[in-house]
Amino acid sequence: MAGRGRVSGSSVVALCLLLAALVGCGGRSAADPVLSEVQRVLDRRAAAVLDHDRAAYARTGDGAGFDNLSAVPLAAWSYRVADVDRGGATATADVELRYRVEGHDRGPVTARRTVRLSREGADGPWSVDSDRPAKKSGQQPWDQGAVRVVRGTHSLVLGVGQSTGTLRGFADLADRAVPAVSDAWDGDWSRRVVVLVPESLEGMAGLLGSPASSYRGIAAVTTGETGGREHAPADRIIVNPDAYGLLGTLGKQVVLTHETTHVATRADTTSATPLWLSEGYADWVGYRDSGRSPAQSAPELDRAVAEGRAPAHLPTDEDFGFTADADELARAYEGGWLACRMIAAQWGEERLNAFYRAVGTHDDRAGAVEDAMREVLGTTPEDFTTRWREYLRTAFD
């Protein structure tokens, strides 16, 4: 009786191997036929997208969204099925969509999608019922409606709910921004931008997968992965048409040039780069040839200095939060801009570019600015801050 209920170690191994052969020791076979079947359906669907074959697309299931993306010039489109949760004649697949826009993307955009499917009978083919962004993932432009495309000399504008004339205006602004950025930034970049123009603030928030309140009053943002050229393949400038439409002609150009600067510097912008530098540099390029004075371009700091409320230190990353007080946010951007303007004026534009790149070569924030200031500018953070505060005092005279 002493041995009752015991199983030897070798028996456990044999039992697990037997179960693995049947269903997989983790509960799902590595060669799950449903996962393979869903992958084949989505492979056919991807081929239909690239071939612009509406009939083939419809044969894979719901074809309602095909026309929404038919105007987008695609160089690649593929799905990778990560997991499938099956319940009888229905299934829900966790899918990664990867695509590239022809002539613009060095690498693919990746987007998590939730694909729901169904089949008739136990052996019927799977058919796509819906394909939507996964939870907490942003939409793609074609999720919001039919995409209208306008090509510029240096730009591609994708719009939803916008007229061709409006999108042409964005292409013209972007086409002026690209040469302006190239004249200032001496780094290697594609010299092309993709601009997304949704119908509203809510559309912008949908593309970013965030609440609309996070971007109210923000004219545009740039998306992309930081951390080296191989991680920065597919930037997008996303416009908030509600806020952007309130800007004057110069303001619209400055915003597009600012965002284009983020695209150009993306490969040299890392987690070591503070926001006062990345945002300040983008504003410096944006205003570089505008002829605007500091008092015109930095009114909130001008007012603070005049009232004896000059900042004691450079803006922190927290100061750039979109949910911060509007005046505080403005002073953060203005302070970063004037720091970069000071470097260009006192050390030269080449040193400003070298300083930006030197900060980005570090793996993390600790010591990055300090090392770059010492090696490129020959100064310390304490001395730099003192000079910056003095620059603020004299810049508005």
pLDDT at 123: 83
pLDDT at 21: 38
pLDDT at 32: 75
Q: What is the CATH number of the domain that holds 93?
A: 3.10.450.50
pLDDT at 379: 98
Q: What is the pLDDT of residues 78-114, one digit of tens each?
A: 999 999 999 989 999 999 999 999 999 988 999 999 9
Decide if 261 is inside a domain: yes
pLDDT at 192: 95
pLDDT at 2: 39
Q: What is the pLDDT of residues 137-156, one digit of tens each?
A: 999 999 999 999 999 999 99
Domain termination site, one of 137, 166, 183: 137
pLDDT at 324: 61
| Spans of the chain below 70 pLDDT | 1-31, 225-233, 323-324
What is the extent of the structural domain holding 126? 29-137
Same domain, 203 and 304: no
Q: How many beta carbons lie within 10 A of that of residue 136, not counting itself? A: 8
Same domain, 309 and 191: no
Task: Indicate the burial class of 166 (C-beta count within 10 angstroms; 0-12, 13-18, 19 or more).
Answer: middle
Q: What gap in Å lies between CA 73 and CA 58, rounded to an integer?
A: 20
Decide if 18 is inside a domain: no
pLDDT at 321: 84
pLDDT at 16: 41
Same domain, 276 and 394: yes
Q: What gap in Å lies between CA 192 and CA 105, rounded to an integer?
A: 9
Please tell me the total count of domains within the chain: 3
Same domain, 238 and 283: no
pLDDT at 31: 59
Q: What is the pLDDT of residues 107-130, one digit of tens each?
A: 899 999 999 999 998 789 999 999
Rama region for 24: left / alpha / beta (φ>0; ψ in -120 to 50; rest): left
Same domain, 47 and 162: no
